[in-house]
Amino acid sequence: MANTDISQLVSWLYLDMNSFFASVEQEMDPALRGKPVAVVPLMADSTCCIAVSYEGKAFRVKTGTLVGEAKRLCPGMKFIVGDHTNYVRYHNKIVEAVESCVPVDSVCSIDEMACRLTGYQRDLKAAGDLAVKIKATIKATVGSSLKCSIGLGPNRYLAKIAGDMKKPDGFTVIRPCDLPQILYQLKLRDLTGVGARTEARLNEKGICSMEKLLSLTPEEMRQAWGSVCGDEMWHLLRGEELQEKATEQKSISHSHVLPPELRNRAGAMRILKKLTDKAATRLRKEGFFASGIQIYARFTGQDGWQARCNLMETQDTLAFIHAVKTLWKELPAGQIFAVGVAMTGLVPEAFHAPSLFEDQRRDQLTKTLDKINEKFGKEVLHYGATHESAGLVPLRIAFTRIPDADES
- Show pLDDT as tens, one digit a residue, over the chain (408 residues): 555 678 889 999 999 999 999 999 999 999 999 999 999 988 888 888 989 999 999 999 998 899 999 999 999 999 999 887 899 899 999 999 999 999 999 888 889 999 999 999 999 999 999 999 999 999 999 999 999 999 999 999 999 999 999 999 999 999 999 999 999 999 999 998 888 888 999 999 999 999 999 999 999 999 998 888 888 999 999 999 886 444 445 789 998 888 888 999 999 999 999 999 999 999 988 888 999 999 999 888 767 899 999 888 889 999 999 999 999 999 998 889 889 999 998 888 777 766 555 555 555 656 555 555 555 445 544 455 554 545 454 433 232 333 343 444
Nearest-angstrom CA–CA distance, 313 and 369: 20
**pLDDT for res 404:** 41
51 and 21 in contact (C-beta within 8 Å)?
yes
Range of the domain at 212: 181-242
Q: Is residue 112 part of a domain?
A: yes
User: Which pTM does this prediction carry?
Assistant: 0.64
Whether residues 215 and 151 share a domain: the answer is: no
Q: Is residue 91 part of a domain?
A: yes
In this structure, what CATH number is given to the domain that contains residue 139? 3.30.70.270
Q: Is residue 194 part of a domain?
A: yes
Instruction: Specify burial of residue 408 (Cβ count, 10 A radius: 0-12, 13-18, 19+).
Output: middle
**pLDDT for res 361:** 57
**pLDDT for res 117:** 97
Whether residues 298 and 226 share a domain: the answer is: no
CB neighbour list of residue 175: distance below 8 Å, 6 or more residues apart? 7, 8, 9, 10, 124, 154
In this structure, what CATH number is given to the domain that contains residue 233? 1.10.150.20
Whether residues 328 and 298 share a domain: the answer is: yes
Question: Which amino acid, 62?
Answer: K
Number of domains in the chain: 3
Whether residues 234 and 353 share a domain: the answer is: no
**pLDDT for res 1:** 54
Whether residues 171 and 213 share a domain: the answer is: no
Q: Is residue 408 part of a domain?
A: no
Whether residues 59 and 121 share a domain: the answer is: yes
Q: Is residue 402 part of a domain?
A: no
Question: Which amino acid, 292?
Answer: G
**pLDDT for res 83:** 86
Last residue of a domain, one of 190, 209, 242: 242
12 and 153 in contact (C-beta within 8 Å)?
yes
Last residue of a domain, one of 190, 224, 242: 242
CB neighbour list of residue 265: distance below 8 Å, 6 or more residues apart? 331, 336
Q: Is residue 354 part of a domain?
A: yes
Whether residues 213 and 334 share a domain: the answer is: no
